[in-house]
Structure formats: structure tokens, C-alpha cells
Structure 1
Amino acid sequence: MDVRNAIKFMIISALAFACMNIIVKHLENVNSYQIVFFRSLGSLFFTFGYLIKNKIPFIGNKNKLLILRSLVGAASMVFFFMSLKYLSVGTAVSLRYIAPIFAAIFAVFILKEKIKPFQWVFFIVSFIGVLVLKGLDTQIDTLGLIYVLIAAILSGLVYIMINQIGQTEHPVVVVNYFMFTAMVLGAVLSIGNWVTPKGMEWPLLLGLGVFGYFGQIYMTKAFQTASTNIIAPLKYVEVVFSMLLGVALFNEVYTFWSILGILLIITGLILNVWYKGRLKQ
């Protein structure tokens, strides 16, 4: 277990995802469907290349589940990118990260798993953070909040589907299904809504897939290098990077209540990861 390298990988991943979020925020004149299309197209260049180079079959074993996971994941991506049109980047990212709460709830009903009482306490801490953001931060847009919560719920469902897929599929095959489905969905939804990108919007759109792919790759490397309970909390560094970039590039303002709400959300989620790690020891 190489913790130092794992931490480095996770920080690179968080920075890559933060850069992708910032690009989406910058592309305010391009609709979210096109952004999903280009983000997926860029990543497909890498996933197709990897599968061809390593002679890995494109078709998986659990095709119906792979397609369903891809559709739900693509819908989650659409709603998240839509939320960035209305919310500050750091707020949107932190709210999207409450997905594990919904995943735990889905697991109770679908997988018949049990949640320990302490986990519910940690989830409540995160949920209070959401209430603080919406109830006390007057900058929070209601429509943006609805979009990002839908994205988080769908992302939670994706976690359950990935659990069901298990080790039967190569990780790149799963990502490839997801990106291809998202590309098709983005293309179909863009019909009648197409806005022709101008100037620097073209390279920025193509850059989405690059940042998204490397964010995914380095996150995977991090989890493969060190234990989950050490690495998982570092995912939330993405929130910090996103906030700093939002302030620097878009002059975003975070009130006391927005920072408190984000801290409560992240604290509850990190405590849940830490507690789950202790249970496995």
C-alpha cells in the first residue's frame, strides 16, 4: 500500500474534475445537452483506444444492467451540468456529493443492507448542511438546487447498479458504456436545441472529455493503491478546488451560511467513510 502516491493520484483527480466543472460553468452560452455530448465524446476517444489497444471486448457480460447504469448515469450528468447554470461551482459539487446518502437508502430497500445507527447520525449532519444552504443562504437558486438533488439521487442509484455489476466487467468497459450512452443521449437531446460554439468554446468543449477521463483514471489508481477509508475522504478536495477556482475566475461569493452548509455536508460524508472503514477492520 503506497499511501503517498495514492494521495497524489487523488489530488490530481480532484483537480481534473474541478477544472472540468469550471469549464462547464464557463460555457454558459452552450446548452447542457451539448456539454454532455462533448464531454462524453472526448472521453470515448480514450476508452475506445484503451479497449482496442488491450484487445478487450467492447460488449460486456451484464449488458442490460450496463445499459441501465449508463442511462441513469447520463441523466445524472445532464442534471448536474444544468445545476451549474444556477449555482456556484463549490455549492453544486458539494450537493452532488450527498449521493452516498441516497445510495445507502437504496441499498436498504434493494440490497436489503442494514445501516448502522451512527451512519444515520452522519447522514443527518450532511442533510442539515443541505437545509442550511437552502434555508439560510439567500444566494441558493431553488431550480438549481432541485437539479443537483435529482443528479445526486440518480448518482446514488448508479452506485447500487455498480455494486450489482461487481467484478464481472472490466472498469473501462463500464466507463465506455457510460460515455457512449451519454454521448447518444446528449446528441438526441441537442436536436432542436443546438447552439453552435464560437471561438474558444470549441477547445473548451473538447477539453471536458480530457479532464473527465484523467479525473476518472487517477481516482481509480488512487483506490487501487491504498485502502478506501484513507482515500475516499480526499474526493472532497474537489469541492475546495472548485470553490477556489470559482472565486478566482467567476468572482463567486460564498457567505458564512454557504460555507457552513458545505462544511456540514462534507463532514457528515467523511465521518461516514471513516466509520465504515472502522467496521471493516
Structure 2
Amino acid sequence: MVISALAFTFLNVFVKSLKDFSVYQIVFFRAVGSLFFTIPFLLKNKISLLGNKKKLLVIRSVFGLISMTLFFLSLKYIAAGTAVSIRYIAPIFAAFFALIILKEKVKPIQWLFFAVAFSGVLILKGFQKDVQLEGVLFALVSAIFAGLVYITIRKIGNADHPVVVVNYFMIISAVVGGLLSINGWINPIGIEWLILLSLGSFGYFAQLYMTKAMQVGETNQVAPLKYMEVLFTILIGAIWLNETYTIISLLGILLILIGLILNFVVKREIK
């Protein structure tokens, strides 16, 4: 999950830098770039592209596509670190869905920690006039669907290879993103080609290791580790994109991280 978080960080920063391109075109390139890894891997290792749990694979892909698209939209409105912070309250929703669907146990104290994390989101929007509501809402709904992604991957379990799971996601994303980007298509120039194509590379390894982590670990234990992406994104965003954060915004982000970290610690003790 740590490797996944680092790869997602570079993906976030690159997407944030592509201001002139539509979110659907970015989704398309992000998906196509990953397919250069997934399809050859599956063919070389003689793994069926169709998979075993086809229905769940499609559902996971749709949830992932919605989450990814909304997150990319949020990056057009708010700072990358803020967007990542809000999206990665997904463990709150994952824990709720895990309780209902997977019957996983959630200690009462964990809900308190989740409340602490969610209060960070309220602080980010409630006390920050420069944080646009659209961006916050896009990131928040993205987090809900990310929580559903975690649960669906857990339901798939070890029935399908992680690359099969990622491949489904990328094929569906490439088709939908490609069709929706036709009207607003912009031809990349120079280094823009490299940046757009690199999205697939970072996205592939990020998705692959996230999928592996979710398949071998319980949702409530593994999902919170993604908070490291927040720290990585804030640091790189500040250095490369010249993003700035006020004391209030950092406080909100800190509360989100504290809530997720405490939940992780408590979950390990339960184990």
C-alpha cells in the first residue's frame, strides 16, 4: 500500500499539471497507458483476460471509474494535497460498507477516530474561503466510491489475479473516457505526450499494489495506509506546483491523518 501511495502521488501531481485537457481525455490516457502493461502480462503468463468473477470485476471497474473521474475533476478546483486528503477518508466509507456487506467488525472507538478524520474535511471547507465547494464535493463523492472499490476487491478475493482486476478497470475506463473525450479532444504537444502516457505507468503500479494489498489484508487494516499519499502529495505539490497551505488547511489535513492513523493502530491491536 505504501508503494501504491507513492505511485498515486506522482499520478496526482501530473494530472494537476494538465490543466488544459478535459478530465475524460486524462482518464483515457491514464487507462490506455496501463493497458500496455496489463494485457502483455496476462498474455505472457497465459492468464485469462475474462477472469472468473466477471460481474464483480465489472462492478469494481465502474466504481473505480466514477471515483477516478470525480477525483480528477476535484483537482481542477482545489489543491492536490487537499483533494487527496478528502478522498482518502474513503476508509470511513469502506469500514461502513465492510460492516454491512462483509460483516467485518468495527470497534466503537474506530467510529470516533473516523469522526475526527471527517471533522478535518469540515474544517477544510468551513474555514477556508479559497477552497471551492465543487472541488470538495467531487473529492468527497470520489471517496464514497473508493470505499465501494475496496469492498468489491475484498469480495473478489483471490479468485482473480490482481492484474486481471486492474485490466478490467482500465479497459472500461479507456472505452468510456475515449468516447466522452471525443468532442473536447485536444492534441498533446511535446512533453504533454510524455506526461499523459506516464499516467498509465504510475497508475498501473499504484492500482496493482493497492489491489494486492486489499486482497491479502482486511479492509480496515490496509486501507488507512493510503494516508501516506497525502503527505507525499503535499510535499511534491508545494515544490513543483507551488501550492500553498494555510495553518487552518493544514490543521484540517492533520485531523484527517490523525483519525486514520489512530484507526489503523486500534485495528492492529484488535488483530
- 1:208-227 matches, cutoff 5 A: 208-217=199-208
- 1:229-248 matches, cutoff 5 A: 234-248=225-239
Q: Deviations over 1:159-179 (max 9, x none)?
A: 121121122111111111111
Residue 258 of structure 2 aligns with an amino acid whose one-letter code is T
Q: Rate the CA distance shift 1:174–1:112 in 2: closer, same or farther, 3 A.
A: same
Q: Which whole-Å CA distance do the structure 2 matches of 1:225 and 1:98 have between them? A: 21
Q: Rate the CA distance shift 1:104–1:223 in 2: closer, same or farther, 3 A.
A: closer
TM-score (norm 2): 0.92
Match 1:201 to one of 192, 197, 200: 192
Shift of 1:121: 0.5
Residue 27 of structure 2 is aligned to residue 39 of structure 1: no
Q: Rate the CA distance shift 1:221–1:181 in 2: closer, same or farther, 3 A.
A: closer
Q: Deviations over 1:181-231 (max 9, x none)?
A: 111111121122222222221111001011112334455677899999997
The alignment of Structure 1 onto Structure 2 pairs a total of residues equal to 271
Aligned to 2:117: 126
Are 1:229 and 1:277, in contact at CA under 8 Å, matched by a contact in 2? no
Q: Percent identity?
A: 58
Residue 128 of structure 2 is aligned to residue 142 of structure 1: no
Residue 156 of structure 1 aligns with an amino acid whose one-letter code is G
Q: Which whole-Å CA distance do the structure 2 matches of 1:213 and 1:221 have between them? A: 12
Q: Which whole-Å CA distance do the structure 2 matches of 1:158 and 1:34 have between them? A: 22
Q: Which whole-Å CA distance do the structure 2 matches of 1:246 and 1:269 have between them? A: 22
Q: Which whole-Å CA distance do the structure 2 matches of 1:157 and 1:110 have between them? A: 10
Match 2:173 to one of 182, 193, 210: 182
SS at match of 2:189: coil
SS at match of 2:267: helix
Unpaired runs of at least 5, structure 1: 1-8
TM-score (norm 1): 0.89
Superposed CA RMSD: 2.4
Aligned to 1:171: 162
SS at match of 1:28: coil
